Amino acid sequence: MGLSFFIQCTCLVLLLVSLTLVHAQRKVFDVTNYGARADGKIDNSKAFINAWNGACQNIGGGMVLFPKGTFVVAPVVLPGRCKGPMELEIQGTLQASKEVKDFIGIDHWITIQYVDGLNISGGGTLDGLGADGWGYNDCLKNPGRCKQLPATLRLDFVTKGYITNITSINSKNTHINLFACKEVLIRNIKISAPGESPNTDGIHIGNSQNIYIVDSQISTGDDCVSVLPGSQYINVTGVQCGPGHGISIGSLGRDL
């Protein structure tokens, strides 16, 4: 037990060091320079994608910046294979579009894929406007035929990730979904949804390794943290959980 704890602590220290290097000063790609407007009305997904692609193709990587204000964003997929580490600095609020039809049957609002070195921070908020979609979640009454609702933030195949000083409220489904990720530190975040909101898991982890969730507050209508098959070396420390179902381990060893 002592050796295992020492190894995990050592891995966390090394991860913090590597993420500090990732957070070096980088070229800033401000979404407002790509046409984004913080008016809480227009869809800024195109500006988001263009700023991301510019930063991704920049030698040495870059930072995508959302300054203060409310930016409406429709579902986006942000691909990786970037030319350096990436940062997403959210100082204001990203708000899901109010068109519920945009989200029915998809698994994401904001998806980031195949990035080696990712830092998401800034003190801002992701607002999933979940109340607009919760009524469509009738899986308890209609299993097998219910409509899929999206996770707020989905990371697929991300290595050396750091999510800190971010608030996620009222997701339509899971708040943060990690799939096939390695060496991700989630620290000092706040996740909130009403206790009666359906399937609003805080952090959903599948097929991932070396995931650290520390010093955070998770208040949801479902699991605070859920761990699914293929996951190992998951460390949850200093997390305030509730309301919600606590920390859930589901079918963890099924495929072994």
The residues that are catalytic are 222, 245
Other CB atoms within a 10 A radius of the CB of residue 105 amount to 10
Residue 122 corresponds to which tokens in the numbers above?
Answer: 């800034």
Distance of alpha carbon 216 from alpha carbon 241, whole angstroms? 9
DSSP state, 125? Answer: E
Residue 205, CA distances (Å) to 75, 101, 165 in order? 21, 27, 20
Structure tokens at 170: 């009222």
Measured distance CA(96)–CA(181) in Å, rounded: 24
Bond prior to 243 in cis (omega within 30° of 0)? yes
What's the CA angle centered on 78, arms 15 and 13, to 5 degrees? 5
Compute the distance between CA of residue 51 and CA of residue 169 in angstroms, rounded to an integer: 24
